[in-house]
Structure 1
Amino acid sequence: MTHINVLDPGASPLDYYGFELRRYREAAGLTQKQLGDVLNYTGSLVGQIETARKLPTPAFSERADVALGTGGLLSRLVVLVMRSQLPAWFQQVAELEARATEICTFQMGMVHGLLQTKAYAQATLGTIDETNLDDRTAVRLARQSIFVKGEPPVFWLVLSEAALYQEIGGPATMREQLAHLLSFEFDPRVNIQVLPFSAGAHAGLTGSFTVFRFTSDPTIVYTEGYGSGHPTANPDTVKDCSLRYDHLQAAALSLKDSAELIRRVMEDRYGEQVA
């Protein structure tokens, strides 16, 4: 008799992950509850992941790899699982983030997803639609794993000062988010500059954009609309946006002065208030 929960491992990365987790668990002679006890999760959660009804997390995958002796298979698969859960139009962008050697982005209204905290990401994703919010937040945060791989990209962010004052998720969330930005202050691979209000008219007034550079592939420029993304390797667009980015960096505060402004806004606007 065929088991009702048998998965087709070729159906999706999530199905493949569940299939492999069950295969390794059964080879180890463990029930779902026993594996859950070892991993400090419930047996129910193990079952939901095995049947592709729940997303695995990187932490779950790391523990399962150790407990089941998979050689790191699940940790490698979870990256593909998370990427497959992104909106279809954004999956290509996540691949660009993973392959790029340098990412240069200008953001007008909010902190870039690669530097968002959990609470800030949840607040932005849940603005209109709170469906599966925990899973969608986990998927966004999983993109940040590019910073802990063997050769992480160099990341440059020019952030409009307005984003520091746009209160997303409340004062505590903003305080945590700005503190997170400051945690990169002495990281040479993650560089944050603030474009101050005093810059006036600037080269990024037409909107946010990102430039992806690679070791051997052509440079790609990415812009975004509502529910759609627009990557292009058109030489004229790349040349124009690269020039714009140079001007934005020149108009922005230095790395040191940017950190000082972020710290000042964090303390003055979002600091602990005494009643």
Structure 2
Amino acid sequence: MVNIRNLDPSASPLDYYGSELRRLREEAGLKQGQLGDIIFCAGSLVGQIETARKVPTRAFSDRVDAALVTGGVFSRLVGLVLRSQLPTWFQAYAEMEAKAAYISSFQAQLVYGLLQTEEYARALLGVDRPGQVDELLAARMERQQILKRDNPPALWVVLAEAVLHQEVGGRPVMRDQLAHLLTFLDHPWVKIQVLPFSIGQHTGMMGPFNLLRFDSDPDLFYEEGYADGYMTANPSVIRERSVGYARLQAAALSPEGSTQLIARVMEERYGDKPEPDGRGVA
């Protein structure tokens, strides 16, 4: 049955997307199932997106643009839709992250979001919000689009060695995640350093934090708590944390040495070993 739920296009980006999808589909003289056949999905999915019951992906948006010859309307709109699925307290940071010219990140427990694989992110997001995993995952993957721009931000990430050893999603997922980090070795705009256990106490033990720099706006400092985030442009905080980040960079292994450590942990901890039930892990 065709879902005819009415939407208020001004209610949210998702509602606006759904109303525009319905309007342009109907203008093209297509039923939901017919459009679904053209873009290789179920007509029910088209209906769920048109009624704001399901969040569209970038791939879905690209196919709809091609099918309805929209000139890229949905491919442009989907970024806004996906950012709106992020936790409210995180949306302001995500918007500034997308505008930054230079991103510095220290992570004590997790791989930075812009460098996560889909399965690693899925495992993390499923812990507290199992019913929203697909939407949150799509939003996190959308954040990574900034690294694919013609003029991406420079990204420098310092990871505590514990990040490499904290198993997320199982050994195969961790192996793929560490392999993904290795692909950035020769990336012109992304550098990764690992802060080894042997360094002992360090300024990052207060917790993870990010510094954002812009071409014409003040620098920003951001740190994330359990249920919210704190962002400030206070010059004294920026100065203190910038010095702290420089100390972390100086104490960490070089990008080349970090690559060697990541590769070693990947093989020794997440390589081909039998699981407790006797099965091997690829």
Structure 2-normalised TM-score?
Answer: 0.94
What is the DSSP-based 3-state SS (H/G/I as helix, E as strand, rest coil) of the residue aligned with 1:231?
A: strand
Identity score, percent = 58
| Residue 56 of structure 2 is aligned to residue 56 of structure 1 | yes
Aligned to 2:163: 163
Runs of 4+ in 1 over 2 A off after TM superposition: none
> Shift of the alpha carbon at 1:17?
0.5
Distance 1:7 1:186 in 2: 47
Matched to 1:177, the amino acid is: Q
After the TM superposition, which residues 190-229 of structure 1 pair with which residues of structure 2 at under 5 Å, given as runs?
Answer: 190-229=190-229
Distance 1:32 1:4 in 2: 11
What is the DSSP-based 3-state SS (H/G/I as helix, E as strand, rest coil) of the residue aligned with 2:231?
A: strand
> Shift of the alpha carbon at 1:104?
0.3
Aligned to 2:142: 142
| Residue 48 of structure 2 is aligned to residue 74 of structure 1 | no
The worse-fitting range, judged by mean Cα deviation, of 248-257 and 148-157 is 148-157
Distance 1:96 1:150 in 2: 18
In structure 2, the CA distance between the partners of 1:35 and 1:55, relative to structure 1 (3 Å rule), is same
Q: Deviations over 1:67-117 (max 9, x none)?
A: 111111101111000111111100001101110011000000110111111
What is the DSSP-based 3-state SS (H/G/I as helix, E as strand, rest coil) of the residue aligned with 1:109?
A: coil
> Shift of the alpha carbon at 1:4?
4.6
What is the DSSP-based 3-state SS (H/G/I as helix, E as strand, rest coil) of the residue aligned with 1:30?
A: coil
Q: Deviations over 1:20-42 (max 9, x none)?
A: 11111112111111111110011
Aligned to 2:270: 270
Distance 1:129 1:38 in 2: 33
Count of residues paired in the alignment: 273
- Is 2:105–2:157's contact at 8 Å kept on the other side of the alignment? yes
What is the DSSP-based 3-state SS (H/G/I as helix, E as strand, rest coil) of the residue aligned with 1:230?
A: strand
The worse-fitting range, judged by mean Cα deviation, of 171-180 and 198-207 is 198-207
Distance 2:92 2:142 in 1: 15
In structure 2, the CA distance between the partners of 1:4 and 1:39, relative to structure 1 (3 Å rule), is closer
Q: Deviations over 1:50-78 (max 9, x none)?
A: 11110000000011111111111101111
Matched to 1:126, the amino acid is: G
| Residue 201 of structure 2 is aligned to residue 178 of structure 1 | no
Aligned to 2:126: 126
> Shift of the alpha carbon at 1:129?
3.4
What is the DSSP-based 3-state SS (H/G/I as helix, E as strand, rest coil) of the residue aligned with 2:157?
A: strand
After the TM superposition, which residues 90-105 of structure 1 pair with which residues of structure 2 at under 5 Å, given as runs?
Answer: 90-105=90-105
- Is 2:39–2:63's contact at 8 Å kept on the other side of the alignment? yes
- Is 2:82–2:135's contact at 8 Å kept on the other side of the alignment? no
What is the DSSP-based 3-state SS (H/G/I as helix, E as strand, rest coil) of the residue aligned with 1:56?
A: coil
Q: Deviations over 1:201-251 (max 9, x none)?
A: 212111110000000000000011111100000000000011111111111
In structure 2, the CA distance between the partners of 1:132 and 1:164, relative to structure 1 (3 Å rule), is same
Matched to 2:207, the amino acid is: G
In structure 2, the CA distance between the partners of 1:12 and 1:157, relative to structure 1 (3 Å rule), is same
Matched to 1:94, the amino acid is: A
Contiguous gaps of at least 5 residues in structure 1: none
Matched to 1:238, the amino acid is: I
Matched to 1:16, the amino acid is: Y
Distance 1:128 1:79 in 2: 24
C-alpha RMSD over aligned residues: 1.2
| Residue 107 of structure 2 is aligned to residue 114 of structure 1 | no
Matched to 1:33, the amino acid is: G
Contiguous gaps of at least 5 residues in structure 2: none
Matched to 2:69, the amino acid is: G
Structure 1-normalised TM-score?
Answer: 0.96
Distance 1:158 1:19 in 2: 43
Matched to 2:15, the amino acid is: D
Distance 1:150 1:30 in 2: 36
Distance 2:212 2:153 in 1: 10
